[in-house]
Amino acid sequence: MDKRTIGFIGLGTMGRPMATNLLKAGYSLVVHSRTRSKADSLLAQGAQWADFPAELAANCDVILTMLPDSPDVWSVVTGERGVLRGVRSGSILVDMSTISPEVARNLAAECERSGVKFLDAPVTGGESGAIAGTLSIMVGGSAETLNEVRPILQCLGSRITHMGGFGAGQTAKLCNQIICGLNILACCEGLAFGAVAGLDLNVLLDAIQGGAASSWMLSNLAPKMLSGDWSPGFRIALQEKDLRLALEYAEQRKLPLIGTAIAHQLFKAAEAAGLSEEGTQSLFKTIRALGGID
């Protein structure tokens, strides 16, 4: 059994089940989150609490972060009480958040100056994948460092892919989010079209799931759209953020992403309607509202 102690920072919708799977695998775990109550279930299972990231890092060999956005990760790693203030030389930091590829490369440079190995390793698979330990993990950084932490990542995901150098994991995740965002929009518009045409949407969904339109989003989110289940497996606010990052990256390279830009604006409209904390399937509410569909 790997005897290394793992630190986990960020215990939200994705982070908490991921940390739980590490405990189930037998790892010693130290956790930190902005809201301590989010750690209650983990502490009850034997995890230790750290009051701030530097304290956590001082007691861990491998640190995993799972946070909402680039500024959050930068602050947790480089801030006054951040990871790099307490980390031991030779430790490994794996950021599993979805952030800017440029920020990931800057974090790698900061870690190198502190004698810390770094990987950017964002995930896809949603809350269900986090709970089941079947996430797909896209990794940027050294292949040698990845091999060092592969047994840990295998507790979290069923597919681990080395994408290239620092930032490559984040770039791959943004590709994933472009496809996800447009797929969610396609599901919403297809169902809205069926609604105005007077079709039974449950019968429609059953019919098209067996054909070329079938997808993970159609199978997992469309039933929630039809049942009015808006609980977040992945939040509207995070999907909007990820599409923003993709568009910023594309703008730097003069790449037009017309469909992505439209999807991004619709997710922003959903945020403006107060849906930020709901699941991405809530985009269906925005599409219905635009079409005057009851």
DSSP 184-244: HHHHHHHHHHHHHTT--HHHHHHHHTTSTT--HHHHHTHHHHHHT----SSBHHHHHHHHH
Ordered structural domains, the chain, with CATH: 5-165 (3.40.50.720), 172-291 (1.10.1040.10)
* pTM recorded for the entire structure: 0.94
Q: How far apart are CA 78 and CA 189, in angstroms?
A: 43
Q: How far apart are CA 169 and CA 177, in angstroms?
A: 12
* Residue 173 annotated in active site: yes
Q: What is the pLDDT of residue 2?
A: 72
Of the candidates 32, 8, 21, the one whose C-alpha atom is nearest the C-alpha of residue 154 is 21
Q: Is 146 helix (H, G, I), strand (E, B) or coil?
A: helix
Q: Which residues of the chain have pLDDT under 70?
A: 1
Annotated catalytic residue within 173, 224, 241, 268: 173
Question: Which pair of tokens denotes residue 49?
Answer: 């609490």
Q: What is the pLDDT of residue 4?
A: 92
